[in-house]
Amino acid sequence: MLARIVEWSLKNRSLVLLATALLVVAGVAALYRLPIDAVPDITNVQVQILTKAPALGPLEMEQYVTYPIEAAMNGLPNLKEIRSVTRYGLSAVTVVFADHVNVYFARQLVSERLAQAREQIPEGFGNPELGPVSTGLGEVFMFTVEGDSFSPMERRTMLDWLIAPRLRAVPGVTEVNVWGGLPKQYEVVVDPRRLVAYGLSLREVFQAVGQGTRNAGGGYIEHNQEQVVIRGEGMVGSLEDIAKIVLKTDENGVPVTVGSVAQVREGSMLRIGAATANGRGETVIGIVQMLAGENALDVATRVRKALEEIQPSLPEGLKLVPYYDRALLVRRVIATVEKNLVEGAILVVAVLFAFLGHLRAGLIVASAIPLSMLFAFLGMAQTRLSANLMSLGAIDFGLIVDGAVVLVENVLRRLGQQGGSEKDLRREVAEAAGEVVRPIAFGIGIIILVYLPILTLTGVEGKMFKPMAFTVLFALVASLLLTLTLIPVLASLWLKKIAHAQEPRFVSRLRVLYLKALSGCLRRPGLVVSGAVLAVVAGGVVAVRLGAEFIPRLDEGDIAMNAVRLPSVALSEAVAGTTRIEKVLRRFPEVATVVTRLGSPELATDVMGIELADVFVILKGPRQWQTAKTKGELVERLRETLEREVPGTGFSFTQPIEMRFNELLAGVRSDVAVKLFGDDLEVLREKGEAIRRVVAAVPGAADVKLEQTAGLPVMRVRVDRDRCARYGVSVGEVLDTVEASRAGKVVGTVFEGQKRFSLVVRFSDDAARSLEALANLPVATPSGALVPLGQLAHLTLETGPAQISREAVRRRIVVEANVQGRDVASFVAEAQERLAREVSLPPGYFIRWGGQFENLQAASKRLALVVPLVLALIFAMLYFTFGSAKHAALIYLNIPMAATGGVFALALRDMPFSISAGVGFIALFGVAVLNGVVLMSQVRSLEKQGSRSVFEVLQEACGARMRPVLMTALVASLGFLPMALATGSGAEVQRPLATVVIGGLVTCTALTLFVLPTVYSVFWRVFQRAR
């Protein structure tokens, strides 16, 4: 059947060439439609539910907001996980679904259940809302709003109402998160003494101001045959309007206005976050979030262009300064991939020309490279895969041209042996192709088969490596189709003028040397086989000691640093602390820009307390570095300096995308997470500290920290119901006073054109500056008397929880750690052993491990199940191809020999086993089997001719197949060589894969050319004796 496809193609050459031209056009069009990003988006399908209630502490938020939402979400279809973080005034519940669920359908499911949850949340305790549709790759652009002549409030207002709305209109942008500055509001700052003097209650102020800031509609009337709408306008438009609102009239009929008892002013909301930059103090930053599935390069480029268009419309002196642009990372990574692919292609073509000894023959084989890639682009576009480090970085042009190499080499060999003319050239090509088309098809089929285990991966590892597998499979399918159709057609057209094809001299000399060496191996089979067995055993020993990690860390070029202080730190002190940190960092010549975000933004997708800070350290190019040669060295220098000069602060180092991925996937920001589950917060804290000490003592542990859950100072106001009853005061009035003490109560809205600002009634800052001042705030009784708050409630200063984390509807605390200087798997194994020995847990408390280790475990378990099955299928295919278990088993020997070379290569380069290396082994096994098939097919063909000894058969078969075997191995290994030696962005992920393939092909080729024939001769003798 395969030979008939070749014959049909040769008879319909014009049709084949036309189909190829259509492929080129469609492939180029698909290339321009491909989304482009640095890495695949590995974020799970999740929906965030965010609730803000500025007056509530963590315990109240958990009880009245977080738990009802979690309870409502339980039982949703395809639900995988519910986790939450509750802090002062904030609740963030993350609902994670199975990967196959559409994110918009998931949001619909959550919205429906959220209606039930809202019924369980008391009035005034916040309104739960869905977070934006974004992912771990969502934060594509960040910028600061700078201008010394503008106040923090003016810069924040400009960003909120002028800049952010225009950026939200940019295609592909889902949200613009704002951090820092002073969010503007209108304030009615009540003087408690004036309230007492005028006999007014706080509730009366609430009601009067609220009623005085609204419009009303009266319907319409008919006048002179026209419809006239009735409007009642009572909205305030200025501070004077608010001050003139009447609260009551005294006994003399004189109105008492808001201005009589309060100061009306422009103020700022109670902040739960801030931003600083470059050691110069507070700033305002905008973070642009990309819609899930969009093209990061295009979106970031559009945002930069939009900022350039917005800049001229801003007041003079106000500047928009970008500090993080995902497009720069994407371009660096794609440049690395392009460089590796181009250099690999050049090396492959050079090998083809050198071994084939004919320019046209080399061009015929090389044509498979661009055409297969165009077909792969077409497949990627149809399956909505993005072009990134993983989807393009594992393509080896050597694998793509393997089939074409074997076919064209056989055509040249036949032409050289028999001569050719234009009259019978098609028949010669058809016959030459017919000799090798079956092993070619089975060889490529086996390579395709070995990639199938990657398609079974799920979760993070699936999203990371499936795009790569799909791209390689598309290219391999294309290479097979081209080998059966276009390559024979081009051979029949371009090789017309060859009368006697001669191979290059160096190939002939190499064959002579090879056959002499092979002859020696065939005379000493025991020595050769023993050496091969020892090599495999040694490889097994080395493999056990390699260690393991999930994937190598992609160098994003910049640093994201987490700074942690005590939960009791004040916002002003936190800002001063981050400013000190930035000044220290700016002293390093490698640092270009430092921007810090503290606490949580208005859209709190990342719930942090004021004690937590994300410090973005934007680095200059490596050529400008002076303090360190590598990023690892630089991080250590930064850590040492910060710990020495900024005491009392904990530091951990990661990267912008990596930090966001870890946080979204596991709810943590580190490589390894030890999650302790239980009910009592104090027990969790105590046992968590014990776990932290044990983990910190494990060699390789870095940035070990315990999630801070306690230490938040709380002024606790407990209403005394008996005293309230004695004075006739309701609990609500007491709580109104507490609410207005600092945060204030929102009673209306003030409009300035399209801008809108909250109108808040509150006491002055001095009124609640201390416990004594809070106790003296007046509360009105029904008789008009005013009673101090301290006579109606018990006021105490206590320490409460700063944060409550939950997962699977249970409380939990996390110990986080990064791993340096060793692999993650061995680190976790040692940590687990120590924890089991040194930490005992009360009944009902248990530990789960998360982070990258969890992903490595999941991937390893699935591959351990699927890879043996695929290896069995490969054996079945080999048996089907040769109809002989003996030949199938002989070719199968290539697999352990190839694996041995890959293991030794990893060990020599001091690389642990990773999923990237595992993918390299998969690719390696395919090439190893292909070479064995090519050689053994020739042996079988000569065997069937009979009348020759096994020694003669092996000499002739190996001599004939030396060139295609060497070419296959060389083009495959040299195609990966630039990847193995690359140092650009993203090279860290590619190097293990390329290292395995190159190292494995060295041993695999030696096995195919020397050990395989030797073992075959031994088997032949054994079978002869048995007969």
Each residue's pLDDT tens digit, 774-806:
888 888 888 778 889 999 999 988 888 888 999
Residue with tokens 């005294």: 250
Judge whether 563 lies within some domain. Answer: no
Q: State residue 499's pLDDT score.
A: 46
- Region 739-767: mean pLDDT is 86
Residues 6 or more apart whose Cβ sits within 8 Å of residue 60: 125
Confidence of residue 609 (pLDDT cuts 50, 70, 90): confident
- What mean pLDDT, rounded, does the chain reach? 84
Distances (CA, A) of 170 to 132, 177, 657, 874: 15, 14, 22, 51
Which residues, 6 or more positions from 39, have their beta carbon under 8 angstroms from its beta carbon? Answer: 137, 333, 388, 389, 390, 464, 554, 657, 986
SS3 575: helix
Of 253 and 482, the structure prediction assigns the larger pLDDT to 482
- The pLDDT of 186-212, averaged and rounded, is 86
pLDDT at 667: 59
Question: Domain ends where: 469, 502, 535?
Answer: 502
Does residue 551 carry a pLDDT above 80? Answer: no
pLDDT the model gives residue 580: 94
Both tokens assigned to 559 = 């640093």
pLDDT given for residue 109 in this prediction: 94
- pLDDT, position 984: 67
Helices 486-494 and 368-382, packing angle to 10 deg: 150
- Do 590 and 629 touch, CB atoms closer than 8 A? no
- Rounded CA-CA distance 791/789 in Å is 5
Which comes out higher in pLDDT, residue 407 or 135?
407
pLDDT, residue 226, reads: 87
Task: Please give the Cα distance from 280 to 328 (Å, whole number).
Answer: 26
Q: Using CB atoms within 10 A of its CB, is residue 663 exposed (0-12), middle (13-18) or buried (19+)?
A: middle
Task: Tell whether 910 and 1023 lie within a shared domain.
Answer: yes
386-414 burial code (b ≥16 CB/10 A, e <16)? bbbbbbbbbbbbbbbbbbbbbbbbbbbbb
Residue 675 CA to residue 86 CA, distance in Å, equals: 17
pLDDT given for residue 25 in this prediction: 93
In a domain, 779, yes or no: yes
Same domain, 130 and 203: no
Per-residue pLDDT averaged across 81-102, rounded? 89
| pLDDT(447) > 70 | yes
Task: Report in angstroms the alpha-carbon separations of 700 from 542, 649, 821.
Answer: 21, 21, 6
Q: Is 497 found in the same domain as 517?
A: no
**Which CATH number do you get for residue 2?**
1.20.1640.10
| Contact yes or no for 114/69 (Cβ under 8 A) | yes
CATH of residue 767: 3.30.2090.10
DSSP assignment string, 578-643 = HHHHHHHHHTSTTEEEEEEEEE--SS-SS---TTEEEEEEEE--GGG--S-SSHHHHHHHHHHHHH
How would you classify the pairing of strands 184-190 and 215-223? Answer: unpaired
Distances (CA, A) of 429 to 434, 435, 493: 8, 10, 10
Residue bearing the bigger pLDDT, 572 or 945: 572
Query: Both tokens of residue 224?
Result: 């002179």
Same domain, 734 and 752: yes
Q: Write down how long the chain is.
A: 1027
97 vs 357: CA distance, rounded Å:
57
514 and 426 in a single domain? The answer is: no
Q: Which residue has the tokens 């020397």?
A: 1010
Q: Which two tokens mark 535? A: 């090599």
| Residue 246: strand pairing partners | 257
Would you say 999 and 991 are in contact if contact means Cβ atoms under 8 Å apart?
A: no
The string of DSSP letters for 723-747 reads HHHHHT--HHHHHHHHHHTTT-EEE
Q: Is the pLDDT of residue 166 over 90?
A: yes
Confidence grade of residue 76 (pLDDT, cut at 50, 70, 90):
very high
* List of residues 6+ apart from 545 with CB closer than 8 A: 907
Contacts of 669 (CB under 8 A, 6+ apart): 562, 652, 654, 659, 662, 663, 816
User: Between the CA of residue 934 and those of 54, 306, 477, 772, 925, what are the distances in Å?
Assistant: 72, 58, 19, 90, 14
At 111, the pLDDT band (50, 70, 90 cuts) reads very high
List the structure tokens of 225.
């045959």
Query: Helix (H, G, I), strand (E, B), or coil: what is residue 804?
Result: strand
pLDDT surpassing 60 at residue 1026: no
* Residue-range definition of the domain harbouring residue 469: 1-30+357-502
Q: What is the Cα–Cα distance from 867 to 899, expressed in whole angstroms?
A: 14
Q: Is 396 within a domain?
A: yes
Q: The tokens of 708 are what?
A: 């801070």
> Other CB atoms closer than 10 Å to residue 818's CB: what's the count?
22
Residue percentage of the chain with pLDDT more than 90: 21
The answer to whether residues 792 and 893 belong to one domain is no
Overall number of domains in the chain: 4
| 142-146, 348-352, 805-809: the lowest-pLDDT one | 348-352
Q: What is the rounded end-to-end Cα distance, in angstroms, of the chain?
A: 36
Question: Do 909 and 1018 belong to one domain?
Answer: yes
Q: Domain boundary residue among 134, 150, 166?
A: 134
pLDDT in tens, 465-512: 788 888 889 998 999 999 888 988 888 887 765 545 566 778 788 888
Looking at the structure, tell me whether residues 21 and 73 fall in a common domain.
no
The fraction of the chain above a pLDDT of 70, given in percent, is: 95
Q: Does any domain span residue 806?
A: no
- Shared domain check, 521 and 443: no
Residue 978 and residue 900 share a domain: yes
Instruction: Tell me whether residue 760 is in a domain.
Output: yes
Residues 494, 513 within the same domain: no
User: Which residue bears the tokens 């939009």?
Assistant: 306
In 933-1013, the DSSP E strands lie at none
Q: Is 735 part of a structural domain of the chain?
A: yes
pLDDT at 666: 59
Of the three residues 100, 134, 168, the one that is the final residue of a domain is 134
For 101, residues 6+ apart whose C-beta sits below 8 A from its C-beta are: 45, 78
What is the pLDDT averaged over residues 190-196? 83
pTM of this structure: 0.79
Q: Which residue has the higher pLDDT, 399 or 679?
A: 679
Any domain includes 653: no
- pLDDT for position 420: 47
- Cβ proximity of 443 and 937 under 8 Å: no
Q: Are both 410 and 382 inside the same structural domain? A: yes
189 occurs within a structural domain: yes
321-376 per-position pLDDT tens digit: 999 898 888 888 888 788 878 887 888 788 777 777 777 887 888 888 889 989 99
What's the pLDDT at 596? 93
> Parallel, antiparallel, or unpaired: how do β-strands 778-780 and 173-180 relate?
unpaired
Q: Which of 624, 651, 655 is nearest to 640 (CA)?
A: 651
- 3-state DSSP call for residue 935? helix
